[in-house]
Chain A
């Protein structure tokens, strides 16, 4: 079993819809939770960062962490074609450095 599980998609939604992405994990030591967006032929770009449990909102993006269920989510409201990308979840422990990445979910927002 992988430490981080993420559905690779593709996930296709119409413009304006809510995109819902999630990851599950097995390591209860994870404390840092991140979502990265990766456009084709580009490096991953940090979108959201959450420490421990709770919700965080930034514009159209909301990140949720449920440590009791070992489950994290990213919601994108009012999706745009420019949101079409691969979204990667990543997690780290309190120790410095190493992150575990999910497989990435490809999202396609159609006009």
Chain B
């Protein structure tokens, strides 16, 4: 399985600011995914990021609020823009396995917005 590093591990931010979360993988992967996990809830897919193309967003998530970059096969960023307290959540990066749709996850970024 891939080793996934996510930064920052946690942050406390002010309302109206933006935070960029980084996800680095130790091997080349085709697809990277960004999830949100709100307290006590399951994972909700925000978007899927392929290298060299625009990210594909799920219903309820828009690019202006959650811009994503995927400059190469080992790295992606998710920005949470113009934050409000409702954005307080854990944000998780995952990558796919080359032979199946098993996904492997980073440790997550715990975000609190005041």
Contacts and interface: CB of A to CB of B under 8 A. Distances in A.
Interface of A: 6, 8, 32, 34, 36, 41-46, 49, 51, 88, 90, 92, 95-99, 101-104
B114 interface: no
Nearest to A45: B105
A98 B48 contact: yes
B59 interface: no
A45 B4 CA distance: 12
B110 A97 contact: no
Interface in B86-102: 92, 96, 100-102
Given A8-B40, A97-B96, A103-B41, 13 more contacts: A6-B42, A32-B100, A41-B108, A43-B92, A46-B102, A46-B104, A49-B100, A96-B31, A96-B96, A97-B33, A98-B45, A99-B103, A101-B43
Contacts of A92: 101
B62 interface: no
Q: How large is the interface on B (under 10, 10 to 19, 20 to 34, 35 or more residues)?
A: 20 to 34
A46 B100 CA distance: 13
Given A46-B102, A103-B41, A41 B33 contact: no
